[in-house]
Amino acid sequence: MESEKEPPGTTLVSVDRTQGDRGIPNGTKFLARGKAADVWLVDIPDAHGQKVAPPLACIIKSLNKPNIVCTQSRSHELGVTSRESQSKDQSSKGAAQVWEMFTSAFLSKVEQWKALRNTHVVSLFGLQAELVIYTEFCVNGTATQYLNQHPEDHINRRRSMISEVLAGVNYLHLQIPPIIHGCICMDKIFVDMHGRAKIGEFALSNLVEEFGLFVPSISQLSRIRWLSPELLDINSEDRILVPTVASDVWALGCTIFEVISGKLPYFKFKHDLRVRHGILSKKLPGRSNNCLETELSHFWGTLTQCWMWVPGERPTVDALIRQAAREIYMWSKRQHPNVVELIGLAVFRECLATVTEWEGNGNMTHYLSRNPTVNRCELSKSVCVGISYLHNMDIVHGNLKGANVLIDRSGAPKLTDFGCASFLSPVQHFTQTNIRPGYSVRWTAPEILQGKTGRTKEGDIYALGMTILEAFTTEVPFSGWPEISLYQHIVGRKKKPSRPGSIIPQKSILGNVLWAILMSCWSYNPARRPTARTIHEAASRAFS
């Protein structure tokens, strides 16, 4: 490879080029070359047998002289261009001094990072050679890559990601002194093999920024969309604008906006100068109607708090989590015999989680298979009562099916798995009984499968009809049909379940009433579906 020609008046400070000289072990796989670092992947098992990736943190050697500008070449050489007439010896001496300052700061940041242990912070395992760090390998890539590659059940995935990012940033900010990330965005969030979001590159982001004045290729403009107004203050040229906890909170709001909208902050502005003008003109990074789904718009209140103009008026991440805890507590006061009771809160894997009562008889599917004489009509009416209660509180269940109806010791059904419930705050988790993620096609309304709407009350009614059918047949809807072919039949051919004549006879008056109720639940026009209360009243009249 030919080396690039250096510009006139440039002093070059060489960096060892060979992989061996850099301390990279043999057998590694080169992944990427960046402006600030190169990345290799090496199979090194940790204590749990997992693999880690050592990005070669060969960050640019830069000068800290006000009368010089540093440039970086692809061959990892530091270019020092004099603005004033200076000898190459003086430039080399200055370069060495700045390099010493940089490496000292770099090692300090690495030691700070290495000491951290949190489920939602990328782990740093060690330092080898001068600037080679070994960090945890997150096989699912960045947050953006992960969400793009896993569109199924994306609302739940986005909720979980927001919760985990909050937990990670809160952990950093609660350190003494607080650790400022300085560059929170989707590209700094990584997803491990278990689907957990982790904050990465938090300490080195600030360091690169401090030395970025001498390295034009590492520009602040590339992340201007996430910068808070005070970091763009044009009246503060006489002082260094340093990221703070408050500026992290602003960037966190921008990142949550990315998660719930799938768009960049200030996405309507293509050029950085217009973005800067928008920020300083007090324009918000986005609007509530930019959310991908109606359910995700409930995060908007959190975002507006993060985007308060005055830094001191922005909440801490800890305050946001406490606010969510208070909201869960208020919900816990609302009890209903057909909804699983919330007992309390707990911290699990550094995330706020709910603790619910244990129902000894398992879920409806298993319970009915073991107890064939159970009155299916009464059980179905109780499920209707539970859904009606949730809808009266403007709560969408979003994942109703037999596996998510638990049976208590008295035989009463109780709704659970509110992982999709629309009133949830960013860090609220409900205990989920289903292990397999993604939409349950057999229970999901056509308009939701098509992406026309998010999870809605009308979608709950469609699923309620399927769940009632499941209660009577003890089989999943469309039993015998593979899920892979169901989508086209439901969406394209408007297929509905066939009437099980042996269980709901054609000549039975009660059977006809029940089937009419179910068919109304499965109407392809969501507006024509009855409410849960209407279904309960109709069933009560028919089966009293």
Q: Residues 312-365: pLDDT tens digits?
A: 999 999 888 877 666 555 555 567 888 887 666 565 555 556 666 676 788 999
- Nearest-Å Rg of the Cα atoms of the chain is 29
Using CA atoms, how far apart are residues 145 and 379, in angstroms rounded to an integer?
43
331 and 308 co-located in one domain:
no
109 and 126 co-located in one domain:
yes
Highest average pLDDT, of 1-5, 73-77, 162-166, comes from 162-166
Which of 260, 280, 315 represents a domain boundary (last residue)? 315
Helices 245-261 and 154-173 cross at an angle (nearest 10°) of 170
Using CA atoms, how far apart are residues 117 and 349, in angstroms rounded to an integer?
11
> Does any domain span residue 205?
no
> Does any domain span residue 210?
no
* Reported confidence tier of residue 25, pLDDT bands at 50, 70, 90: low
For residue 520, pLDDT over 90 is answered with yes
> Does any domain span residue 129?
yes
**Distances, alpha carbon 378 to alpha carbons 60, 263, 412, 468, in Å:** 71, 47, 9, 11
> Does any domain span residue 371?
yes
152 and 280 co-located in one domain:
yes
42 and 156 co-located in one domain:
no
| Ranges 7-16, 203-212, 260-269, 469-478: which has the least confidence | 7-16
277 and 155 co-located in one domain:
yes
396 and 365 co-located in one domain:
yes
**Distances, alpha carbon 162 to alpha carbons 267, 438, 455, in Å:** 20, 18, 19
Residues 6+ apart with CB under 8 A from 2: none
- 68 near 7, Cβ under 8 Å? no
* Reported confidence tier of residue 275, pLDDT bands at 50, 70, 90: very high
- 67 near 82, Cβ under 8 Å? yes
Domain around 95: 1-137
CATH number of residue 404's parent domain: 1.10.510.10
Which of 102, 137, 172 represents a domain boundary (last residue)? 137
> Does any domain span residue 198?
no
* Assigned token pair, 336: 């209903």
Q: Where are the beta strands (DSSP E) in 263-336?
A: none
> Does any domain span residue 212?
no
Q: Of 449, 530, 455, 539, which Cα lies nearest the Cα of 494?
A: 449
Is this prediction's pTM over 0.85? no
- 140 near 191, Cβ under 8 Å? yes
| Ranges 77-86, 114-123, 209-218: which has the least confidence | 77-86
355 and 276 co-located in one domain:
no
Q: What share of the chain is helix, strand, coil (3-state, %, to 5)?
A: 40, 10, 45
Torsion 249-250-256-258 (CA) sign: negative
For residue 163, pLDDT over 90 is answered with no
256 and 304 co-located in one domain:
yes
pLDDT at 18: 47
Q: Of 47, 182, 169, which Cα lies nearest the Cα of 120?
A: 169
CATH number of residue 111's parent domain: 3.30.200
Number of domains the chain contains: 3
> Does any domain span residue 206?
no
Convert the pLDDT of each residue in 192-243 to its tens digit.
888 889 998 765 656 655 665 555 555 454 689 999 999 987 665 545 578 8
- 202 near 209, Cβ under 8 Å? no
Convert the pLDDT of each residue in 303-314 to its tens digit.
888 999 999 999
> Does any domain span residue 111?
yes
Convert the pLDDT of each residue in 441-465 to its tens digit.
899 999 888 877 777 889 999 999 9
pLDDT at 344: 61
122 and 147 co-located in one domain:
no
401 and 422 co-located in one domain:
yes
403 and 513 co-located in one domain:
yes
Q: Of 9, 31, 98, which Cα lies nearest the Cα of 60?
A: 98
* Reported confidence tier of residue 147, pLDDT bands at 50, 70, 90: very high
**φ and ψ of 534, to 5 deg:** -60, -40
User: What's the mean per-residue pLDDT of the chain?
Assistant: 75
Which of 315, 340, 371 represents a domain boundary (last residue)? 315
Convert the pLDDT of each residue in 31-79 to its tens digit.
666 666 677 676 655 444 444 444 433 322 222 332 323 333 333 333 3
Q: Letter for the amino acid at 498? A: S
Q: 199: helix, coil or strand?
A: strand
Using CA atoms, how far apart are residues 301 and 320, in angstroms rounded to an integer?
11
34 and 106 co-located in one domain:
yes
pLDDT at 333: 58
